[in-house]
Structure 1
Amino acid sequence: MNNIQQQLVRQMRSFLAFKKEHETAIAENALLVKMATDIENIESSISDLLGQQDRNSKALTQEKSSKINDLIELTVKICEVLNSYGNYMNFTVFTTIEGCTKTELSRCRDAEVLVRAENVVDIIEENPTQVSEATLSAEDISALKAAIAAAQAVMDIPQNFRKSQHDITVKLEDGLERYRNIMNNSLKDYMRSKYQQSNPDLYSAFALAVDVDAIPKRRKALVGTILDEKGAPVRKVRVSVDGSKPVIRGGKKGGFNFQNLTPGEHQLTFSRKSYQSVTVNILIVPDKTATLDVVLNTIKVEEAVPVE
């Protein structure tokens, strides 16, 4: 889930905590009971979907880990047989198989484990006589090939897993949209009109429950304009914050803004070709939007004086 969806879930659960705390008052209003019950059912469905999503992901991770571990064990076992034969018979092809000890394979990425195991299969198929003399059984070779195929199957997310995750995501989005519609289009207005005057304590508790974790509006940390000395807007100005890589600011009317400045003092440098650079210090206060208007003076080019 994205951040907005997570906030909706938190808001929904906060409302249900309010419902539980004020069960007696809510039970006196049939319409309110119906709305709250609908939200309760939505939350239950969403919790179940989130659980499925988590279980599916963990199951895939565990299956992948298990298949890779099986492949490592078989590869190491077979390489030890081949290496033993190679050392005894002075057959260097089997003594120079690279990177197939248990320690080496355990440190590899999964894809590299597959590559090394496939390389062992190639060596086996290229040297059938020596493999037979090494007493490596056909069953061991088949088991290695099967382990490679099993590991390959879980390297990329299977199609059925992607489809199940997509179906869960669609259901989550539908459930959250139903909740959003009930809360924003019905419940908030109903509670305000019904209880703001008649039962202010109940209404205040409701407002706190649904607004504390409500989706916040993104507040701009800094807004302003960039003008020249004649008051005309300057566009496409390079703005560096605290020495960072400059970003382009300044629209048609010279307006600019920053949303993600942390509270505290920041140094902004404004620069553009044909204008004198300007550096300004600005204090950002939490939950407030700072204003900064910047004037860039044009660089005057001295007129050449003709030599007599």
Structure 2
Amino acid sequence: MNERGIVAVLGAGMAGAAAARHLAEAGLRVRVFDKGRGVGGRMATRRVGDLQFDHGAQFMRARGTAFAGQIDRWARSGIVAPWAGSERSVGVPSMVEPVRDLLSGLPVQSATTILRLHRDGAHWRLEDASGAVHGPFDAVAITVPAPQVMTLLAASGVILPDIAHASYAPCWSFMIAADTSPPEDLIEPGAGPIGLIAYDSSKPGRPPGIRLTVHATPDWSRRHLEAPRETIVAELVRATRDCLGSELRPSHMEAHRWRYAQVENAVQVPCLYDPACRLGAAGDWCLGARIEAAYDSGLALADAILNDLGHPA
């Protein structure tokens, strides 16, 4: 692995997947590393027996031409479909599918937490939590949430300007299987504990049954961030009942804590990249709280790497 044109991509969410695919299509070799058990990042799906919940991002929307074109390609392939209005698209049969499509055929090493980056002459080596070392790589693209980028860079003695300006709001995600369906596919009260209620079962390609995903508001999630999960479940099932005005009679309930759920302050640049050491970072924290922002940022970082390595995009 010492020829030119080998790039390590850290993070297998939308930004990392977009960067990895763009680099691979330009002729570079990539290796993707992610600390999770699977790909998708916050485009996540939880499966419990026969139950399925999109407990992370609920849908995608396109403002620009690049992501609109990508959504159109996915739609023609049956990978996404409209939901709760023609402007909202969801992955089929789960929100993970668009990321899985971008990473198809690329080497992805899951359950691998990279703790340090080591500069070795003109190359990088990556040290993971088990002590294993990966590389050498000609460039590194980091696409995890900004606080995790900062932790990794600090441990590696590397600085990227402006990244400290990015900040996130947390979110408690509450999943419930019940016997009463909501009046609408998507409800967004945005006040009190409840930010949104998504009728998971109404999304195209989903298994039958009544399943809801509830996202708490940022302020409520921040105040209850360290509360026990059983407390969160009890509070949010009451708030969901109050919001819907009906009994739910749940057969399954659980909660998931997203510490870095939604970008509050973005750095307002497409990506960060240092050509002197061929290392950069990308994510929705660069451009804004949208899946499209993560996609566009990943493409921008890939273009910066391609230009630097002499592979024009």
TM-score band by shorter chain is under 0.3
Q: Bigger radius of gyration, 1 or 2?
A: 1
Which protein, 1 or 2, shows the higher relative CO under an 8 Å CA cutoff with sep ≥ 6? 2
TM-score (normalizing by structure 1): 0.19
More helix by share: 1
More strand by share: 2
